[in-house]
Structure 1
Amino acid sequence: MKRLTLLFGALAVALSLTACNTVQGVGKDISKGGQAIEKAAK
């Protein structure tokens, strides 16, 4: 039972780290899109 709990804990940590990278990547994409729109407006 302890091993199963440890496995689920490790899985939760791995998924949360993956989610952070995904959100950061989306933020960068949105920023680049905004910069492109700004350049087009100038």
Structure 2
Amino acid sequence: MKRILALLSLACLTLLSACNTVQGAGKDIERGGEKLQGAAEDAKK
């Protein structure tokens, strides 16, 4: 029973950390897109 509980706890921790990683990557990609958009607008002028 302790082994099952330990495995479930480990699985939950892994899933939670993966969500934070994906969220952080999404924010980084969004910032990069904003900078590209700003550079494209500057090039138009």
Q: Same fold (TM over 0.5)?
A: yes
Q: Structure 2 matches for 1:12-31, cutoff 5 A?
A: 12-31=11-30
Q: Identity over the aligned pairs, expressed in percent? A: 46
Query: Any runs of at least 4 consecutive aligned residues in structure 1 with deviations exceeding 4 A, and if so which?
Result: none
Instruction: Give CA deviations for 1:4-28 in whole Å, capped at 9, x if unaligned.
Output: 0000000000000000000000000
TM-score by length of 2: 0.90
Structure 1: gaps of 5 or more residues: none
Count the aligned residue pairs: 41
TM-score by length of 1: 0.96
Q: Which structure has the greater CA radius of gyration? A: 2
